[in-house]
Amino acid sequence: MGLLSDLMEKIFPKNKPVDPKAAPGPVTVPEPAAVPKPAAVPEPGTVPESRPEAKPAVKPGDVKVEKKPEIIETEEKPVAEKITIGHVHMSGCTGCLVSLADNYEGLFTLLDNYADLNYCLTLADVRDIPKMDVALVEGSVCINDPHSVADIKKTRENATIVVALGSCAAYGNITRFSRGGQWNQPQHESYLPIGDLIDVDVYLPACPPSPESIKNVAVMAYLLLRGTDEQKELAAAYLKPLMDLAKRGTEACGCDLMFDVINQGLCMGCGTCVATCPVRAITMVYGKPNIDSDLCIKCGACYAQCPRSFFNFDVMNQFEAIGEAIDAAMGKGDE
């Protein structure tokens, strides 16, 4: 079955679950009825002695009504417990939204149990930015466009938690290199990461962030806002490094990794930065990363993913509990 068929089956189930006890038993094929012998044909000109007997009328009590299978209504979780999440699209390529959708079944679990998507230009027919618990902002802000500037300010007013989703929102990424002159909007020539215009709570850099990391942030935001005290503590531990990134500022590039990690003798040669860089600006030379600054698009992903760029003992100490909380929230088999 294709993905679209799966999706339609999930949204519009053809068959509601049926109580197996009330379900009809196995179908039995009836014995073929005996073929009646043909009646004797009277001789022409003779009158038959008796008319064929009429069948007795069927009384209403004789009619057997088969018991209909009982329909079991599925339990619906109260929507009030969910948080609201909006996807605010500034100037970006939509790759972060595609990455969110790449969670497949995990996305359904998220939307079924934890979050209502109450704003998303691509997926929800809502024009004005509403109040929301979490705003996932994708893309940087074109400051030549007054609508974009107004939208990002309204997002900050209306959202409890603002997440810079992806490197364009966090650091500008490739939009930093825009000089205007694009075919459809030639006047747009200057783009800033959202942190230059509003306060941002959480950075989730990378180009794009992995589907799993977006899902984890959404689940942790839910636990932070609706969970027990213990879950709130775990969620805070998970989100703290990403909040620290937000405090660190809107500039990032391979040079940060060079100055803060490699030149400090902290690099352990794990190669995570090489695997993370979306434009392959980093290669390993003699077991240490070498960064080609001409290729670097300043997405900040290498710094964000390097295990030595910042240590967070809250995460280290509660690593297993955090993983178990996320797994429990998403249920087995959602990955």
Residue ranges in contact with ligand SF4 by CB under 6 A: 252-254, 257, 261-262, 267-273, 276-277, 279, 281-282, 289, 291, 296-302, 306-308
C-beta of 214: minimal distance to ligand SF4 in Å? 18
Choice between 106 and 300, CB closer to ligand SF4 = 300
Minimum CB separation of residue 303 from ligand SF4 in Å reads: 7
Report whether 115 contacts 82 (CB < 8 A). Answer: yes
Smallest gap, in angstroms, from Cβ of residue 222 to ligand SF4? 29
Contact 296, 279 (CB under 8 A): yes
Which DSSP category does 163 fall into?
E
Helices marked H in the chain — which ranges? Answer: 3-11, 95-101, 105-113, 146-158, 167-171, 211-226, 229-248, 254-257, 272-276, 301-305, 313-317, 319-330
In one-letter notation, the amino acid at residue 160 is T
Q: In this complex, which beta carbon is closest to ligand SF4, that of residue 22 or of residue 311? A: 311
- Toward ligand SF4, which CB reaches closer, 115 or 252? 252
Pick 12 or 286: Cβ nearer ligand SF4: 286
Quick check: helix, strand or coil at residue 176?
helix
In the complex, minimum distance from the CB of residue 249 to ligand SF4, in angstroms, rounded to a whole number: 14
DSSP annotation string for 202-246: EEE-SSSPPHHHHHHHHHHHHHHHHS-HHHHHHHHHHHHHHHHHH
Whose Cβ is closer to ligand SF4: residue 142's or residue 301's?
301
CB of 223 to ligand SF4, least distance (A): 28
